[in-house]
Structure 1
Amino acid sequence: MLNLKPSSDSDRRTLKFLEKNPSLSQSLLEDCGPNLSQVATIIEPVLNASSRCEVSSFYIQAVTTGRTAFLTTNLPDDRATQVTSVGASWLIGRNNTCAISIKSTSISRCHAVIGHCPDRGFYIMDVGSSNGTFVNCRRLAALEQKLLNDGDLVELSHTRVEFFISGRRSRTPAHQDTQV
């Protein structure tokens, strides 16, 4: 699959991540080129996301290279990293078909969506959940889209999650209450 030679510990960790997530390998290599160190600059924050958590043990990290976007999370098990498929939106909820499935009775079957617009960044939208979606302690109205910033606190009902953004050309403006 990959004929790349790791030259550092970071490169070795990146290669291991790519081997575990082959569906991402092609997209990342197309976006970053065959230079493993370039890909490592995208993957290294993914591998260290849990160490950024300050108020929750859970995180969702949005990763973009400009053309490619995906999410990583340690929900529902804070010991393992889950990687979503490459896309532009990801459903979060209790249903097994959700990109991020959380088995908690306080989470609706289809609770919220995280989306990505290349020109504006990542956003979250509550899709009519019973117990609400909150960003930085402010409840979102159903179908309200809220731009997300690196470090935002997202609450899906009673589940607290820190939201991080990494990658090249990712949107990381100052905190603001901007609607999409």
Structure 2
Amino acid sequence: MGFHVSWITIRGIAPEAVREQLQLRETGEREELPESDIAEALLPSGWQLIFFNDPCPEEIEDKNLKALSAGCEVMAFVVEECSMTTLAMSYVNGDSVWHVAHDSDSGLEHMEVTGTPPVCFSEIYSKLLAELKADENPCDYLFDVPAELSKVLTGFRHDCDIEGADGDVFSILEKT
């Protein structure tokens, strides 16, 4: 099993405009957890979340994230637990700002960073790297760096409850 998902968070434009640009529409159905192919939630942090039960939907391709971020801020996240890879990306006003990725096939200490991630990246990375180095039987601690970075910045992590949210917080979406 494991997670094989991705999501986009957006702030700075109306949720309706995001759905229109991504060619998505609300079905009128809701769910407590994002178990449908595509779901949406408005996070307490102010970000709009579009969640995909697919690690590689076309919506998270670089060109599409650049287009979506015109006039706003976008973060995207991918987790593929079979291959133990995670990726977090940030886009603002049509430009890629930073990218943080871990691929365990490249080693337990692998961390690819492009651009300038936010200050909290260094804190998260240093803490998890120290745990890795202190563990006599280390596991893949750095796998959590992109996920923790995303949680700190948006308030959402794919494998945690949304703090401050109760009930059926996810609206089920479908492609138009």
Q: Which has the higher helix share?
A: 2
Q: Which has the higher strand share?
A: 2
TM-score (norm 1): 0.32
TM-score (norm 2): 0.32
Of the two structures, which has the highest relative contact order with CA contacts closer than 8 Å and spacing of 6 or more? 2
